[in-house]
Chains A and B, each alone.
Chain A
Amino acid sequence: NAGVTQTPKFQVLKTGQSMTLQCAQDMNHEYMSWYRQDPGMGLRLIHYSVGAGITDQGEVPNGYNVSRSTTEDFPLRLLSAAPSQTSVYFCASSYSGAEGANYGYTFGSGTRLTVV
C-alpha cells in the first residue's frame, strides 16, 4: 500500500518554464488536495478536488492549474513558473463517511521546487 505518491521529489525550473507535479493515491480516497509550505507562512491550500471531474480553488490558486480525470491522480500544473512559486508542495488525500464526517488526511512526501 503506497499511500500518496508524489513525483518528482526535487525540481529546479527557470522562470517562465512550465511543469507538472504528479500525485497519485491508491486508497480510493475521494478528496485530494495540493498545499504549499513556505517558511513563516505554514501550509496553504492551492487547489482541491472532491471527486473525479470536480476541482476548486483554495487559498492561493493563482499560477496553478489542476484536473482530476481519475480518482487516483491529481496533477498540479505550473503554467509559467515564477520565483514566488519556489516552495515545498504537498499532495494529500482524504475521505468522508456517508454522514459527511471526515476521516483524516494522508500526505505525500513532497516536491521541493526551486524557480530561478
Chain B
Amino acid sequence: KQEVTQIPAALSVPEGENLVLNCSFTDSAIYNLQWFRQDPGKGLTSLLLIQSSQREQTSGRLNASLDKSSGRSTLYIAASQPGDSATYLCAVPNNAGNMLTFGGGTRLMVKP
C-alpha cells in the first residue's frame, strides 16, 4: 500500500526566505506526483503536476522536483511571501489512476 509522508509538518519562516518542503512515497511505480495548496477553510488548489518522465516542473516562484528511484519530491518556494502561508499537500495516484494517496501536509507560515 502506498504511503506518503511530508516533512516538516509545520514550518514558520520570515518573509523573503527560500524554503523546501519534502514529500516521500513508498511505492516508486507512480505515474505522477501532484502538489496542492490549501488555505484555511478552503479547497485544494493544484500547484504543480510532475509526470513520472519529468524531473521537475516550475511555476513562478515554485519549483517541484521528482526522484522516483528514491521515492522523493521537493517543493521549492523562492523568496517566500506572507501570501504563501497555507498548507501544502503532495499526492500520488494509484496504478489505476482512480484514487490519490495524500501526505499529511506541511503547514507553512511566512511572517512579515
The chain A residues found within 8 Å of chain B, CB to CB, are 31, 33, 35, 42-43, 45, 48, 50, 56, 58, 90, 92, 94, 96, 100-110, 112
* 19 A–B contacts from the bound complex (CB under 8 Å): A42-B103, A43-B91, A48-B99, A92-B100, A94-B97, A100-B31, A101-B31, A101-B97, A102-B31, A102-B93, A103-B32, A104-B32, A105-B46, A105-B91, A105-B100, A107-B43, A107-B45, A110-B42, A112-B41
Q: In the assembly, what is the distance between CA of A94 and CA of B98, in Å? A: 8
* Residue B10 at the chain A interface, CB threshold 8 Å: no
The chain B residues found within 8 Å of chain A, CB to CB, are 31-32, 34, 36, 41-46, 49, 51-52, 89, 91, 93, 96-100, 102-105
- Closest chain B residue to A43 by CB distance? B102
Q: In the assembly, what is the distance between CA of A42 and CA of B104, in Å? A: 6
**Does A107 lie within 8 Å of B98, measured CB to CB?**
no
Q: In the assembly, what is the distance between CA of A105 and CA of B102, in Å? A: 12
